[in-house]
Amino acid sequence: MSDVSSVLSLDSQTEKRGPLRLLIVDDDVVQRELLQRASRLAGCETVLAPSCAEAVRLVRSMPFDCVILDLELEDGDGVDVCRAMADINYAGAVIIVSGTESCRRSTARAVARSVGIEAQSLPKPVDLSSLRVCLANLGKGRQGLPAIHAWGGAAVGQTVAGHRGQAGRVTNMPA
């Protein structure tokens, strides 16, 4: 397959898949609106849930590529939503966006991963550029493309090593 036809094939696959479908779970109306606007600007479709109960109902009734999840909700804990997602064999990702302490976010990520859900976390107030990076990497993964964004000194994706020279420098980049 030529380079042009492989790109055209990839473009047609991407069109068939459409934008990422996100469920945004947060009981704070301002945070929900902020996350929704940022997600839409990143090209995602969004559905909003103001509570654990609504989030559980929605994940059971609709497919989502990603759930953006607050941990501290009025009617429960965001980890309960992760457990409900595991019960239905949810195959998407979770981005935990919470103002709680970092050790609690780490524990929530570990719980999500223990039930088979890939999870990341961002502290509140959320850095919208970091959220866009997370969403862009999810979109690339959904399209079968490697995520090669270097963030905070850590490379995301397994193909980054192939882009580095023997000295640990990115090839074709000045030292």
Q: In a structure prediction context, what are the per-residue pLDDT tens digits for the chain, which is 175 residues long?
A: 444 444 444 444 444 568 999 999 999 999 999 999 999 999 999 999 999 999 999 999 999 999 999 999 999 999 999 999 999 999 899 999 998 888 999 999 999 999 889 899 999 999 999 999 999 888 776 655 554 444 444 444 443 344 434 444 444 444 4
When computed from its CA atoms, the radius of gyration of the chain, rounded to whole angstroms, is 18
Give the pLDDT of residue 18: 85
Q: Are 66 and 20 in contact (CB under 8 A)?
A: yes
Looking at CATH, the fold of the domain delimited by 15-144 is given as Rossmann fold (3.40.50)
Strand partners, 22: 46, 66
Q: Are 110 and 135 in contact (CB under 8 A)?
A: no
**What are all long-range contacts of 138-146, with beta carbons under 8 Å and residues at least 24 apart?**
138/20, 138/65, 138/66, 138/93, 139/20, 139/43, 142/17, 142/20, 142/65, 143/10, 143/13, 143/14, 143/17, 144/13
Give the pLDDT of residue 142: 62
Give the pLDDT of residue 143: 54
What's the rounded Cα separation, in Å, for the pair 67 and 108?
14
Residue boundaries of the structural domains of the chain: 15-144, 147-175
- Residue 172's contacts (CB-CB under 8 Å, 6 or more residues apart) are none
Cis bond leading into 50, ω under 30°?
no
Give the pLDDT of residue 100: 87
Give the pLDDT of residue 30: 95
